[in-house]
Amino acid sequence: MIAWVCFVLATVAIVVDGNVIDGRKSLVWGPAIELPELDLPVRYFFVQLVGSDGLNITRPPQNSLVVGWTAPNCRLKRQTIDRHDGSFVVRFRLYDACDQVEFSLSTADGQPIAQTPYTIRKPSGRPLLAEHCDCGQLPTTDEWLTMAKCPAHFAQLDRDLANWSDRSVDFEKALNYSHQRWTGPEHRYSSAVCHYQIINNEHKYEPTVEQRAFADFFNYRYVINVDGTVAAYRLPFLLSGDSLVLKQDSSFYEHFYHEMEPFVHYLPLKGDLSDVIEQISWAREHPEQVARMIANARQFVHDHLQPQHIFCYHALLLQRYARLLINTPTEPNSDMEQVSKAAHDYYGQCTCDKRKDEL
């Protein structure tokens, strides 16, 4: 009986599109594997199944990826997201500091994938930290930028800061101004340098429609990115799916918008959305261009919008902004309130140094 089972496993290859999945040729990559030294708020990697002919599998059978995990003495939550196009996002979340996390990847017929088994550990030998932990041993910004392999420049940042080429940000003045401007009784909800309020929106824009869960967006062939109160922050998520993104023209932007091109990464829509029907008709008549835009958008997300890229941008922004300050604030104002970290500790105690615990 056992011999028979083994025989079957060894000879039944999974055939897709007339193509056979080749485990070792399949691809595994992503931030959790490439940058283990960084404790970013999310850890994941990608798997792309590849056929024996070297081409990506695009229509795999159900449950074609098997993931096995080992994380000694650590609580770990794991998730495999099937993108239904031969690729997967494998995510894990740590609830404890962990010396290392091991995992193995195989196809449904038991072939090991790529370099399986994998071990994620920090080259420095320090433990991997739970995402929510603030362990207070932060490197300097320069060290972090190097660890994260950040680019030296973001084109948008250079453009945005060009007007302050001299050291000319007077933060005290800005703080005074925002204090005067936004602390009146009519601004009872908040006062901040970056300011807006949302009041009774739901009544202003009636009738509303039934809400869709985010995960269900990709059940649709086309998704529209429309501004809300400011830029629609969901754009990176939309671009990473397998639907065509129709992006509203807008004066709002995030730091990566200008690196994308209409008709290359997304289909543009006029600011007033008057051409929605026309653009969808165009998309229906041009399936090849649409498929290319979807693939380009996803590649863009892989290349520019992984967690380390977002953090690189913000680290560089804050570093460069700090250099522009005329007067660096050192003491908080007496009317500021310190918010304790403990108030945000939703996941229980943070153990920052695993080794110390075990001794």
User: Could you list the residues that contact ligand NAG (CB under 6 A)?
Assistant: 27, 48, 55-56, 159-160, 163, 170, 172-173, 176
Q: How far is CA 294 from CA 49, 55, 62, 174, 268, in A?
A: 18, 18, 22, 42, 13
Q: Which amino acid is at 25?
A: K
Sheet holding 87-94, edge to edge: 27-29, 43-48, 87-94, 76-82
Beta-bridged to residue 262, according to DSSP, are 266
How near is the Cβ of 47 to ligand NAG at its closest, in Å?
9
Residue 254 Cβ vs ligand NAG, minimum distance, rounded to whole Å: 14
Q: How far is the CB of 159 from ligand NAG (least distance, A)?
A: 6
Residue 179 or residue 355: which is nearer to ligand NAG going by CB? 179
Name which of 229 and 299 has its Cβ closer to ligand NAG. Answer: 299
For the bound state, the minimum distance from the C-beta of residue 31 to ligand NAG, rounded and expressed in Å, comes to: 14
> Considering beta carbons, is residue 114 or 350 the nearer one to ligand NAG?
114
Which residues, including other chains, have CB under 8 Å from residue 358's CB and lie 6 or more apart? Answer: none
d(CA 36, CA 44): 11
Q: Which is nearer to ligand NAG, 115 or 201 (CB)?
A: 115
Tokens representing 287 are 């399936």
Closest separation between CB of residue 232 and ligand NAG, Å? 20
Instruction: Report how far apart the first and last C-alpha atoms of the chain are (Å, whole number).
Output: 49
d(CA 107, CA 100): 24
By beta-carbon proximity to ligand NAG, the closer residue of 102 and 170 is 170
Nearest distance, CB of residue 345 and ligand NAG, angstroms? 35
User: Judged by CB, which is closer to ligand NAG: 119, or 176?
Assistant: 176
For residues 234 and 302, which CB has a smaller minimum distance to ligand NAG in the complex? Answer: 302
**How far apart are CB 170 and ligand NAG at their closest, in Å?**
6
Least gap, CB of 246 to ligand NAG (angstroms): 23
**Please, how many CA atoms are within 13 Å of residue 173, restricted to the half-sphere of its CB?**
6
What whole-number distance in Å separates Cα of residue 186 and Cα of residue 191? 11
Query: Which one, 42 or 326, has the nearer CB to ligand NAG?
Result: 326
Q: How far apart are CA 7 and CA 15, in angstroms?
A: 17
User: What is the closest distance, in whole angstroms, from the C-beta atom of residue 176 to ligand NAG in the complex?
Assistant: 4
In terms of CB distance, is 296 or 319 closer to ligand NAG?
Answer: 296
